[in-house]
Chain A
Amino acid sequence: MNLVVNGVEHDLDVDPRTTLLDALREHLGLTGAKKGCDHGQCGACTVLLDGRRVNSCLILAIAQQDTPITTIEGVDHPVQREFAAHDGFQCGYCTPGQICSAVGMLDEVSRGWPSAVSRDGADPLSDAEIRERMSGNLCRCGAYANMVPAIREAAAQ
């Protein structure tokens, strides 16, 4: 099968059962995306599929053969610098997923997408808004308190 990851085309010979997460980690050596739960419940495996954030653990690689995929290894975004500046992590396990998710989320905000907090989507990005929009990413270390200002700062750039 053919996967386009971070702008590079790869020809892989893998079983159809392979999830996108396993293809990235086990076959392409891109170990940034993490396997937390493997069931869509934690967000550690978040990558960008055609620019949209998704859980790579619930996606079959074979179904995404011509879709551009961006992993944390291919991200260059203010969110990364702000996470570092604000200590938006402790162990770092959830961090690649948090950052990919935040990048996708800020794009959703810029397109005016609503959330369960702001129904018109036009509110400035309040902390409540960031928490709701980032609820698909859990952090076992509970480093949320520093992630929220990191994302707020990145959003302002």
Chain B
Amino acid sequence: MKTFTYRTATDVSGGLEPGAAFLAGGTNLVDLMKLGVATPDALVDVTRLGLDEVTELPEGGLRIGAGVRNSDLAAHPLVRRDYPVLSQALLAGASGQLRNMATTGGNLLQRTRCRYFMDAAKPCNKHAPGSGCPAREGDHRNLAILGASEHCVATHPSDMAVALVALDAVVNTSERSIPLRELHRLPGDDPARDTVLRHGELITSVDVPPLGLPSAYRKVRDRASYAFAVASVAAAARVADGRVIDVRLAFGAVAHKPWRALIAEEALRGKPATKESFLAAADAELAAAEPLRDNAFKLPLIRNVVAAVLEGLTS
């Protein structure tokens, strides 16, 4: 690991010198530093800023501090009552130990698990811009089917972010408020940048507006627990007179960002709450998919999970 200086942040105004990085739970950053993929000269610890509270917003909804640990957020009574999709997504992620360290801000900004990205000795446009993307021809079984580019086919690995993007969450930073849907970028020709955040921009909290719909998260993975998603679906829906009157859908492990499925939502609104409509809506969203050699299996997987989750929520 490259050597670095350490200090604790003293206020929430953000700002970092070139080469410095914020440290939260460290479960991703310290890992990447050990691997030589992240090489900060300075770490600024943001866990002592008091950003560890969940509060109710005056107009309804919750403000989740950037430092709230994933385990505390999953167990929070208001999250469990009003946003089961969020609690379930958090509980489906990582392990008890990791959730006790992982924070809201760090979880959103965790980096892809693409194996070439995590191997400093391999070419990769994300950690060494211009060096190429070996995943496109190599191991891409768990990489993107939507929104990828010739330069990068990585997926964003967070479960929590998929639930939050379905919930229309807004990310508050030291500089501005950004809808979560716009926080993460598609890779395009600049895959080194995961998000629109500027260097030194500190996430302070995430706001979740009121939902008022039943919601759920379903994750498919290679083993029953303690594994990243191969595909996941966050959903919320309400049915009246047999028709879908309100619906939210987001997919995980399919793209460089948590994927809000607006096309599927549009296709579903007003339609009969039947398996046929659910599958047709998923197909509408997935029409733009460009699967690679070894990940086309994600298409039927997402399709079937969408139907299963929506059937569970609406029956």
Q: Give residues in A with beta carbon < 8 Å to B.
A: 15-17, 19, 38-40, 43, 46, 49, 52-55, 58-60, 62-63, 101, 104-105, 108, 111-116, 119, 121, 131-137
Given contacts A39-B31, A40-B97, A119-B88, 8 further A-B contacts (CB under 8 A): A17-B4, A49-B100, A52-B100, A55-B27, A108-B71, A116-B92, A135-B95, A136-B226
Residue from A60, A101, A104, A115 whose CB has the most chain B CB atoms within 10 Å: A60
Contacts of B226 in A (CB 8 A): 135-136
Check if B169 is an interface residue, CB within 8 A of chain A. no
Check if B30 is an interface residue, CB within 8 A of chain A. yes
- Is B95 touching A63 in the complex (CB atoms < 8 A)? no
Contacts of B84 in A (CB 8 A): 119
Contacts of B92 in A (CB 8 A): 116
- CA of A110 to CA of B105 in the docked complex: distance in angstroms? 27
The interface size of chain B toward A, counting residues with CB under 8 Å, comes to: 33
Given known A-B contacts A17-B1, A135-B226, A58 and B75 have beta carbons under 8 A apart: no
- Is A101 touching B74 in the complex (CB atoms < 8 A)? no
- Is A58 touching B225 in the complex (CB atoms < 8 A)? no
Q: Give residues in B with beta carbon < 8 Å to A.
A: 1, 3-6, 23, 26-27, 30-31, 34, 43, 45, 47, 71, 74-75, 80, 84, 87-88, 91-92, 94-98, 100-101, 224-226
- Is B26 touching A58 in the complex (CB atoms < 8 A)? yes
- Is A40 touching B98 in the complex (CB atoms < 8 A)? yes
- Is A63 touching B47 in the complex (CB atoms < 8 A)? yes
A151 to chain B, nearest CB (A): 13
- CA of A155 to CA of B157 in the docked complex: distance in angstroms? 34
Contacts of A55 in B (CB 8 A): 27, 97-98, 101
Nearest CB in chain A to that of B95: its residue: A136
B19 to chain A, nearest CB (A): 15
- CA of A2 to CA of B74 in the docked complex: distance in angstroms? 32
- CA of A53 to CA of B4 in the docked complex: distance in angstroms? 27
- CA of A19 to CA of B97 in the docked complex: distance in angstroms? 16
- Is B3 touching A114 in the complex (CB atoms < 8 A)? no
- CA of A111 to CA of B77 in the docked complex: distance in angstroms? 12
Nearest CB in chain B to that of A112: its residue: B75
- Is B27 touching A63 in the complex (CB atoms < 8 A)? no
- Is B26 touching A16 in the complex (CB atoms < 8 A)? no
Specify which of A53, A63, A119, A132 is in contact with B225 (CB 8 Å cutoff): A132
- Is A113 touching B101 in the complex (CB atoms < 8 A)? no
A23 to chain B, nearest CB (A): 13
Specify which of B71, B96, B101 is in contact with A58 (CB 8 Å cutoff): B101
B245 to chain A, nearest CB (A): 25
- Is A136 touching B98 in the complex (CB atoms < 8 A)? yes
- Is B30 touching A60 in the complex (CB atoms < 8 A)? yes
- CA of A155 to CA of B227 in the docked complex: distance in angstroms? 26
- Is B27 touching A115 in the complex (CB atoms < 8 A)? no
- Is A63 touching B91 in the complex (CB atoms < 8 A)? no
Chain A to chain B contacts (Cβ below 8 Å), 12 pairs = A15-B3, A19-B30, A52-B100, A53-B96, A53-B100, A58-B101, A60-B6, A60-B26, A111-B75, A116-B91, A135-B225, A136-B96
Contacts of B94 in A (CB 8 A): 136
Specify which of B23, B71, B100 is in contact with A60 (CB 8 Å cutoff): B23
- Is A16 touching B5 in the complex (CB atoms < 8 A)? yes
- Is A59 touching B101 in the complex (CB atoms < 8 A)? yes
